[in-house]
Chains A and B, each alone.
Chain A
């Protein structure tokens, strides 16, 4: 006897078509819940420490809006292109899917490079996280996000290898879909970082 759930799943997109794989998507949403709370805690730290300058710089003199805006454009665009990749996957256009995924990764890599060079420049100027609680919470919050993006790129590279080995099936489709969830999530977090940290910091 087949489970009622499995019958409901007929006619669903490929990534949901297999009962077991669809359960993994539920699990991934739960993982995202925990990740939201990680960032929420880091935001709380940042909000409290915004005024904790110690002997270090204050937010207004520390932030450069130019690079942050550039990073925002890169990440928002990459969120769009990963959407295009999923759109192609749903229609079975594997070449377009792979191409858009590659574009996404390039944009993501450009984001990471910009962020890292910003961090390196900060540290070269003597703005380390040892200086103040404000800088500690800034580097921890933005750095955790950057580490997530980096990890996402590695994850997608491994996925690209698997896609070339195995083609599109219920498992690889689910993996690409969860990757896109992860990527959109990082985009949402970045929007908060850009508004709260960079724009908010300039206003103080």
Chain B
């Protein structure tokens, strides 16, 4: 008994993990957990939580759950970033040691991409896409919940590594031989591969789901050429996911086989090639860049048209450029490792294909500007992010073209120039886009607006903080400061710029706090949206009440033009569309809530946890739970609930939308 206990303690909390920061985190997590459990039990909310949220298959609620998880992960990733910046603020600051620094930059990158950007995108897809195309739900509501729970349990598995066993420490790309078992024996990298494997399956399912939703569930009359740009980018993003995630799955799976079962894919001894992993990873990784930025392009296209009160300039050019970006993004992956030694011919091909992407992207930038041209612009917070995005993203894109020039890349790769470049595109593009989308669609999701004045504070802190952080990093890169450097001595001339950069990071952190305050304050005091159309919007989601009822549309609208809702309003049919006559309401079949997706995710989590620690019986138990959940899924024919027309009539009447 004593021996078993000490084995457990030693494995789960090895001496390397018992450092003050980790212990602090342990205590904090435990305390938060206790508080949550106590509050839920005191208020008798467990049943409510299970019935209304954990078992839900409603795309709008799943969207909210994605949003909450993404904001929590943004916090965690942001704390990682601040720890790194604190260490680099001045020469020889040893706030965290080299080993901890490795772990922190690894989890920062992994969390920000896989557990912050992706779920935030899926939050908006879930919340908006079905409303925008006039559908009652996504194509596969239960699989949608499966996607969420695979993501959530994957994220949980990744995050507990920090306190149980040790974090991954080989960078967010996890290249071998850094991840080879012989050189990296702890459970950290197993956590990395296992959690991304699990959440990656969920992401693939989301891709399939939204692709089919958009292809097959659009309202009558909404042809592809009448689809809003956000729906177009969701379509292309889903297609990208479909083609990009399988190579990642194989890369992660084979790495796991190497580490867990002694295969020789990427080991140095038996004919394996680490560069093969690098190729597979970036075969996923480059399309992934566009998976996270295309939705932002879609959001900006909606936001700019709404707040400039003009139809989007060059709609077809916008659509074609999204498609062009989607196709081209598969032909650029080698630019992440020009120094592999593939030879000038290969490098030139991939350098040129990378530069080519700048052309459709440039088309989009011009079209957004021309949309604003001559429009009556309202400077809301969402629009401010749009205005900040254009110059920020242009700089990110231009430095990208610079890095695509092979000889320049040989000089600049692995320096802070690169770090500044991709933050310019990922924050300037993706994060600004998602924040813009959140301010824009918040009333649709929750029924109230976020306070504009507080939002402007958050915006300016975030925007200025961004440039103060990453502007100096270009110069640091040119001065030769390499990335993933945990500390540096005096005398390199790097300390002034590093200090400025750290100040900027804290300003961004303050911006995040204001954002959170903005949300919490607006929950209580924000302006309620009773019209359903607070911004005088152009697309179908604004024809619905805020938030939309469970069934979305009491009567599916018929679309006759691009910017469907704007056209309905222009033709004076707005009230006709909004209000239904009692006899028009038909009985509906809606998907029934189910606990299956939760247990499926839990099974994967148990399996992952068992395999990470090589406790095979726990791993097998997890697989049994997974298979049992799938059987349950297959044998459950009672997956629909019938909604009586009277229920819908009552709901619509309460919303003031039922004709007497």
Binding site for B on A (CB under 8 A): 1, 3-5, 23-24, 26-27, 30-31, 33-35, 37-38, 40-42, 44-45, 48-49, 51-56, 128-137, 139-140, 155, 158-159, 161-162, 166, 171
Q: How far is the CA of A158 from the CA of B628 in the complex (A)?
A: 12
Partner among A23, A54, A139, A166 whose Cβ is within 8 Å of the Cβ of B216:
A23
Query: B637 at interface (Cβ–Cβ under 8 A)?
Result: yes
A133 to B272, Cβ gap below 8 A? yes
Residue of B nearest to A55 (CB): B270
Q: How far is the CA of A34 from the CA of B204 in the complex (A)?
A: 8
Q: How far is the CA of A26 from the CA of B257 in the complex (A)?
A: 33
Once A33-B242, A34-B245 are accepted as A-B contacts, the answer to whether A133 and B250 lie under 8 Å apart by CB is no
Q: How far is the CA of A38 from the CA of B204 in the complex (A)?
A: 12
Give 27 CB contacts A-B under 8 Å: A1-B220, A1-B558, A5-B216, A23-B217, A26-B139, A27-B139, A27-B209, A33-B242, A33-B243, A34-B207, A37-B242, A38-B250, A41-B283, A45-B276, A45-B280, A49-B272, A52-B271, A54-B264, A130-B264, A130-B270, A131-B270, A133-B265, A133-B270, A133-B271, A136-B254, A158-B635, A161-B635
Partner among A38, A129, A166 whose Cβ is within 8 Å of the Cβ of B262:
A129
A136 to B265, Cβ gap below 8 A? yes
Query: B331 at interface (Cβ–Cβ under 8 A)?
Result: no
B212 to A23, Cβ gap below 8 A? yes
**Binary flags per residue of B612-640, CB closer than 8 Å to A gives 1, else 0:** 00000000000000000001001101000
Chain B residues with CB under 8 A of A51: 271
Chain B residues with CB under 8 A of A162: 634-635
Residue of A nearest to B248 (CB): A41
Q: How many A-B residue pairs have CB under 8 A?
A: 128
Chain A residues with CB under 8 A of B464: none
Chain B residues with CB under 8 A of A140: 253-254, 257, 263, 265
Most chain A CB within a 10 A radius of its CB, from B207, B262, B265, B631: B265
Residue of B nearest to A41 (CB): B250
* Chain A contact residues, majority secondary structure: helix
Residue of B nearest to A161 (CB): B635
Closest-CB distance, B304 to chain A (whole angstroms): 31
Query: B246 at interface (Cβ–Cβ under 8 A)?
Result: yes
Chain A residues with CB under 8 A of B139: 23-24, 26-27
Query: B211 at interface (Cβ–Cβ under 8 A)?
Result: yes
Query: B534 at interface (Cβ–Cβ under 8 A)?
Result: no
Closest-CB distance, A142 to chain B (whole angstroms): 14
Chain B residues with CB under 8 A of A129: 257, 261-264
Most chain B CB within a 10 A radius of its CB, from A1, A27, A53, A139: A27
Chain A residues with CB under 8 A of B258: 136
Partner among A24, A48, A161 whose Cβ is within 8 Å of the Cβ of B276:
A48
Residue of A nearest to B140 (CB): A27
Closest-CB distance, A141 to chain B (whole angstroms): 10
Once A27-B208, A45-B276, A136-B257 are accepted as A-B contacts, the answer to whether A34 and B217 lie under 8 Å apart by CB is no
Closest-CB distance, B209 to chain A (whole angstroms): 7
Closest-CB distance, B24 to chain A (whole angstroms): 41
Chain A residues with CB under 8 A of B276: 45, 48-49
Closest-CB distance, B313 to chain A (whole angstroms): 31
The size of the chain B interface, using a CB distance under 8 A, is 43
Chain B residues with CB under 8 A of A55: 270
B637 to A132, Cβ gap below 8 A? no
Residue of B nearest to A44 (CB): B280
Chain B residues with CB under 8 A of A49: 265, 271-273, 276
Residue of A nearest to B243 (CB): A37
B635 to A133, Cβ gap below 8 A? no
Closest-CB distance, B258 to chain A (whole angstroms): 8
Closest-CB distance, B220 to chain A (whole angstroms): 6
Closest-CB distance, A45 to chain B (whole angstroms): 7
Closest-CB distance, B321 to chain A (whole angstroms): 24
B257 to A45, Cβ gap below 8 A? no
Q: How far is the CA of A58 from the CA of B207 in the complex (A)?
A: 40
Once A26-B215, A30-B242, A56-B270 are accepted as A-B contacts, the answer to whether A130 and B263 lie under 8 Å apart by CB is yes
A136 to B263, Cβ gap below 8 A? yes
Query: B247 at interface (Cβ–Cβ under 8 A)?
Result: yes
Closest-CB distance, A86 to chain B (whole angstroms): 19
Query: B249 at interface (Cβ–Cβ under 8 A)?
Result: yes
Q: How far is the CA of A1 from the CA of B280 in the complex (A)?
A: 49
Chain A residues with CB under 8 A of B250: 38, 41-42, 45
- Residues 488-547 of B at the A interface (beta carbon under 8 Å): none
Partner among B208, B217, B273 whose Cβ is within 8 Å of the Cβ of A30:
B208
Chain A residues with CB under 8 A of B220: 1, 3-4
A166 to B263, Cβ gap below 8 A? no
Residue of B nearest to A169 (CB): B637
Once A24-B140, A37-B247, A140-B254 are accepted as A-B contacts, the answer to whether A171 and B216 lie under 8 Å apart by CB is no
Once A38-B246, A38-B250, A132-B264 are accepted as A-B contacts, the answer to whether A27 and B271 lie under 8 Å apart by CB is no
Residue of B nearest to A136 (CB): B263
Q: How far is the CA of A128 from the CA of B261 in the complex (A)?
A: 11
Closest-CB distance, B460 to chain A (whole angstroms): 43
Q: How far is the CA of A198 from the CA of B216 in the complex (A)?
A: 41
Query: B269 at interface (Cβ–Cβ under 8 A)?
Result: yes
Chain B residues with CB under 8 A of A171: 637
Q: How far is the CA of A132 from the CA of B247 in the complex (A)?
A: 21
B242 to A34, Cβ gap below 8 A? yes
Chain B residues with CB under 8 A of A4: 220
Given A54-B270, A133-B272, 20 further pairs, Cβ under 8 A: A4-B220, A24-B140, A26-B215, A30-B211, A33-B242, A37-B242, A45-B265, A52-B271, A54-B264, A129-B261, A129-B263, A133-B264, A133-B265, A136-B265, A139-B263, A140-B257, A140-B263, A140-B265, A158-B634, A159-B634
Question: Lowest 8 A-B CB distances belong to which pairs?
Answer: A52-B271, A37-B246, A54-B270, A54-B271, A41-B250, A133-B271, A133-B272, A136-B263
